[in-house]
Chains A and B, each alone.
Chain A
Amino acid sequence: MATTTITKTEKLVGKAMRRQEDPRLITGSATYVDDIQMPGMLHACILRSPHGAANIKSVDIAAALAHPGVAAVYVGKDTEKVGPVPCGASLPGLRVPHHYVLAIDRVYFIGHPVAVVVATDKYIARDAVDLIEVEYETLQAVTDPEKAIGPGAPPVHPEWPDNVAFNYHQEGGDVDTAFAQAEVVVKQRITSQRLIPSSMETRGVVADYNTGDKALTIWSSTQIPHLMRTLVAQMLGAPEHKVRVVTPEVGGGFGSKLNVYAEEALMGFVAMKLGQPVKWIESRRENCMCTIHGRGHVDYFEVAAKKDGTILGIKLKLIQDLGAYHQLLTPAIPTLSVLMMPGLYRCQNVRADIVGAFTNAVPTDAYRGAGRPEATHGIERMVDILAAELKMDPAEIRLKNFIHNDEFPYATGTGLSYDSGNYAAPLHKAMDLIDYHNLREEQRQARSQGRLMGIGLSTYGEICAFGPSPATPAGGWESATVKIEPSGMVTVMTGSSPHGQGEETTFAQITADELGVGIDDVIVLHGDTAIVQYGIGTFGSRGTAVGGTAVYFALQELKKKIKKYGAMLLESEEVSFSDGVCVDHKTGKSVTLAEIAGASHRAMKLPPGTQPGMVETYFWEPPNFAFPFGAHAVVTEVNRETGDIEIKRYVAVDDCGNIINPLIVAGQVHGGVVQGLGQALWEQAVYDDNGQLITGEFMDYAIPRASMIPWIETEHTVTPSPVNPLGVKGVGEAGTIGCSPAVVNSVVDALSTLGVRHIDMPMTPEKIWNLMEGARA
């Protein structure tokens, strides 16, 4: 025990710190699923449907089984009792097709799994797949959601000939009166095209069954290890406590791994059947075809307003392209769009009708932003269209309609309670940064020279930090355990499952500050159900706001215990704990965290009513979502000859509440903006009328590359969230949500002199050229 001079350690929260996880990622010493090797491990390859829709007349596996090195071949009949692949979302009257892990008598989309070959190496497995003979009777397919619910479309599922999976209605305020009183009504059909999430690491599964223990271990590249364990155990009829799920390094997910897939249960089935470990690694082509897609909206918007720009009411008819099945959250995604359809605006009168359309395509589900980019794109386009109609400045009309600062918490017409906001602040900041008023002057000059220069704004709001459990399908809390080891080193176990978000760093920053230790004294563990207490996972910009808060509360519990031990060791009634030291201020004596940790483990003496050891676990249930917001401003110029779009400036001002690590926040915004640019300019999953995926590889599916990305200027305003003690909101999806409408608004602005009012994404040069040609004609 020392008499103190307490040196106050530097606070890490708020500091731009390099990520703790990066050295292993950069030096190639991380372990991904495909790095796992086990003695006797078999390799699986899946035979997939080459048709968008077909009946399976027969499957002949004899030649594949006879191929040297093949251990087993399974078809739909063999796995009939496995599954179904679960849908975790429920809506009134939802039609849920039975989703077998392998198709039995009909295939519903290109890539639909039909059989699995298991062999001694992956090359043999792949060769043997070609030896399976399937006789198909091809059927007419439908891949366009509007055609699917129109007259005469072929049924995706014969039992539901109208292809309607559900109808969903939501209404707030008095929409009819709002529209009756309107001085102006603007209408527009707006699409958000299907996108392929394209994480750098494809999916992959290793399964190992210990026949003695009757215990199954599954390694999978997933965002939700615990939920996956619960659901895969159910699918396999295996007792949950004897299933262990491990997520090694996960090379990105963007929501596409917020799911439970057929292959995860299928590999469990194979391992249990054969008693040997088995590995399946998804190819890039399979990833394009069989991992969920995102977006897939056709939206019909109507906005009623007064002549001064005051928005009175919003109507939305939303057709969601669901694909052939419901994956984990498929039908719930468009309901998130409806929740956010009023954006940042003071409009209580809202009406939305969703039609969920089955199509012969891979299911859509959560992809970075999940429903909110579509909503934001819609309302932010509509506000620009309204401004153009009223000849108002797009900034002015936004400022006029923003919810005021004194109205928070603000109850929206869609039933949400926005936690906190200062919506004008990021818009003003973005306008200042980009020099909005001078830009308008520059634009006038450019136009007089015949140049097509555009200025686009978007002011986005998003719902994140999912979320209160009653509003989140599998529970919306998060868990944390913090242990102080006898040496004073700290281990954090989080139920979150970071896969690129940098939570090993941000959670360590929070922990280091609370305990007064260095960042290298903390390790953050996640993604192993045998090590970490039950958790929900990482998605919906919830990692720090919910998972980080759970860590914070576990630390508060731990600090109580630390003080009890400190008081005992200092033989004092009153001690305080800060900066890693317990101090008795009366005597000036102190004891360090390491000494306390050691004492609590040796347990020579215990404080009254206190257990030995130094571990606390906290399950935090958030009282509300958090609602980040921001403003993006984009300057573009369109090439008159070719229709090429050049982004001349990109400014993103985000408000994600308090910032724990500015470097990580900037990284998240950059990544999000890049994916938003991808949607605005290049990416689209294209099926032809037969259900063939034309963009089945990166030769045709245009994900953005570094060389295609403009300089992104990021700035922030800080409006803390009152929902959690860290005051954080979430930032993982913000960039994507704010980006696409700002870019489209900018290009529409550039072409407005030609009478262009709306452009659907992706804004390919050819599309722009056609618009210019149309105007010339």
Chain B
Amino acid sequence: MISQQFEYSAPATLQEALDLLANEGAKPLAGGMSLIPMMKLRLAAPEQLIDIGRLRELNYIRREGEQMHIGAGTTHWDVESSPIVRAHCPLLSETVSNIGDIQVRNRGTIGGSAAHADPSADYPAAFCALEAQFKLVKKGGERVVGASDFFVDMLTTALESGEIIAEVIVPVEQRGTGVSYQKCVQPASGFAIVGVAVRVSSEFVRIGVTGLGAKAYRATNAEEIYTSTHDAAKAAAVVADGADSNSDIHASASYRKHLARIYTQRALKEAASRMG
């Protein structure tokens, strides 16, 4: 399990990093929890790694008005243990605590998880339910993309070459909103066979689903049914409709869809019980 040769640089500033990333063949390295295993299996072979994991500029959690701004380099553990996140975006705290083990959470980052776009990763379910915004930067440019446009396909995002996620923006949860993340764990990898993130209030419901298809999605049809009926079972029944479900030795397509329905129901009920 040895990667191909590569160059490594650890720029001191974001600007320097973006300059280096403008080079052909350069790739950002954050926590390395997904990239390094891919390199060791020789499924990825970048020529130049630009280590953005050490940039202070990308490591912060801030509340600004009704929004939370989380630097892309913030580790899973920093999000999990942040009192601000727990107070204002409890869905992220709960979701992130389900990722891997403590060693992984100590290194892996929110930006890395989003950029990697693993179809079984946990974060994307929450990003969909939170309608997260991603601030993307590159040499000489900056733009903001919403979760539904950001996740394009399996391991594929809207990121352009030379572009990185600088920040993840999520709403501050209003009083009276209940949240829940429910995950069916794949016993070998610990990733989600399915994971369902839910936010419910008297005004709205948001359902984000990961693990079922090639990318995480917002189950708007299920949201609509829940809004009109407040019946978790009825809403959950349609959550997998139209999904092109993954199938592997851990769960066939039909069982995965079944699990998506069960876990949606559980998440809806739990979130509703936490509305208070």
Contacts and interface: CB of A to CB of B under 8 A. Distances in A.
Contact of B187 (A285, A682, A686): A682
B189 interface: yes
Given A284-B1, A682-B187, A641 B262 contact: yes
A410 interface: no
A285 B41 contact: yes
Contact of A694 (B5, B187, B249): B249
B14 interface: no
A708 interface: yes
A136 interface: no
A404 interface: no
B189 A283 contact: no
Contacts of B5: 123, 127
B2 A126 contact: yes
Interface in B173-208: 184, 186-189
Contacts of A766: 250-252, 255
A700 interface: yes
A626 B2 CA distance: 46
B255 A686 contact: no
Contacts of B258: 769
Interface centre among B4, B249, B252 (most CB of A within 10 A): B249
Contact of A701 (B188, B248, B251): B188
A2 interface: no
B161 to A, nearest CB: 25
- Majority-rule SS of B interface residues: loop
A592 interface: no
A121 to B, nearest CB: 10
B259 interface: yes
Interface centre among A641, A681, A701, A770 (most CB of B within 10 A): A641
Contact of B262 (A130, A642, A708, A764): A642
Nearest to A643: B255
Given A642-B262, A682-B187, A708-B187, A700 B2 contact: no
- Majority-rule SS of A interface residues: loop
B1 A700 contact: no
A177 to B, nearest CB: 45
Interface string A530-574: 000000000000000000000000000000000000000000000
A642 B185 CA distance: 12
A699 B255 contact: no
Interface residues of A, number: 29
A702 interface: yes
B184 A642 contact: yes
Interface string B87-118: 00000000000000000000000000000000
Interface string B22-65: 00000000000000000001100000000000000000000000
Interface centre among B1, B186, B252 (most CB of A within 10 A): B1
A692 to B, nearest CB: 12
A285 B1 contact: yes
A698 interface: yes
Contacts of A126: 2
A641 B249 CA distance: 20
A695 B248 CA distance: 11
A513 B250 CA distance: 52
A11 interface: no
Interface centre among A642, A708, A766 (most CB of B within 10 A): A766
B249 A123 contact: no
Contacts of B4: 127
Contacts of B250: 700, 764, 766
Contacts of A45: 2
A700 B249 contact: yes
Interface string A224-262: 000000000000000000000000000000000000000
B1 A695 contact: no
Interface size class of B (residues with CB under 8 A): 20 to 34
A99 interface: no
Nearest to A696: B41
Interface in A121-165: 122-123, 126-127, 130
A423 B1 CA distance: 49
Contacts of A123: 2, 5
A700 B255 contact: no
B266 to A, nearest CB: 9
A758 to B, nearest CB: 21
Contacts of B251: 766
Contacts of B42: 130
Contacts of A641: 262
A276 B1 CA distance: 24
A121 B80 CA distance: 40
A702 B189 CA distance: 8
Contact of B1 (A283, A681, A701, A764): A283
Contacts of B248: 700
A762 to B, nearest CB: 9
Contact of B188 (A283, A285, A700): A700
A632 B189 CA distance: 29
A759 B190 CA distance: 25
Given A127-B5, A642-B262, A769-B255, A698 B249 contact: no
Nearest to A286: B1
A123 B255 CA distance: 42
Contacts of B187: 681-682, 702, 708
Nearest to B261: A641
Contacts of A764: 250
Contacts of B188: 682, 695, 698-703
B66 to A, nearest CB: 37
A770 B255 CA distance: 9
A229 to B, nearest CB: 30
B249 A122 contact: no
Nearest to A767: B255
A699 B189 contact: yes
A694 B248 CA distance: 10
Nearest to A681: B187
Interface string B233-276: 00000000000000011111001001100100000000000000
A703 B2 CA distance: 23
Contacts of B255: 766, 769-770
A363 to B, nearest CB: 22
Given A126-B2, A702-B188, A686 B249 contact: yes
A318 B101 CA distance: 41
Interface in A652-702: 681-682, 684, 686, 694-695, 697-702
Contacts of B249: 684, 686, 694-695, 700
Contacts of A285: 1, 41
Interface centre among A681, A686, A695, A769 (most CB of B within 10 A): A769
B136 to A, nearest CB: 29
A487 B218 CA distance: 77
Nearest to A764: B250
Nearest to B256: A766
Interface string A16-56: 00000000000000000000000000000100000000000
A641 B5 CA distance: 49
A482 to B, nearest CB: 43
B5 to A, nearest CB: 7
Interface centre among B2, B5, B258 (most CB of A within 10 A): B2
24 contacts: A122-B2, A123-B2, A126-B2, A130-B42, A283-B1, A283-B2, A284-B1, A285-B41, A641-B262, A682-B187, A682-B188, A686-B249, A694-B249, A695-B188, A697-B41, A699-B188, A699-B189, A700-B189, A700-B248, A701-B188, A702-B188, A703-B188, A769-B255, A770-B255
Interface of A: 45, 122-123, 126-127, 130, 283-285, 641-642, 681-682, 684, 686, 694-695, 697-703, 708, 764, 766, 769-770
In the A-B complex, the 10 residue pairs with the closest CB atoms: A702-B188, A702-B187, A126-B2, A283-B1, A699-B189, A766-B255, A682-B187, A641-B262, A700-B188, A686-B249
Given A641-B262, A708-B187, 15 more contacts: A45-B2, A130-B42, A283-B2, A285-B41, A642-B184, A642-B259, A682-B187, A698-B188, A698-B189, A702-B186, A702-B187, A702-B188, A766-B250, A769-B258, A770-B255
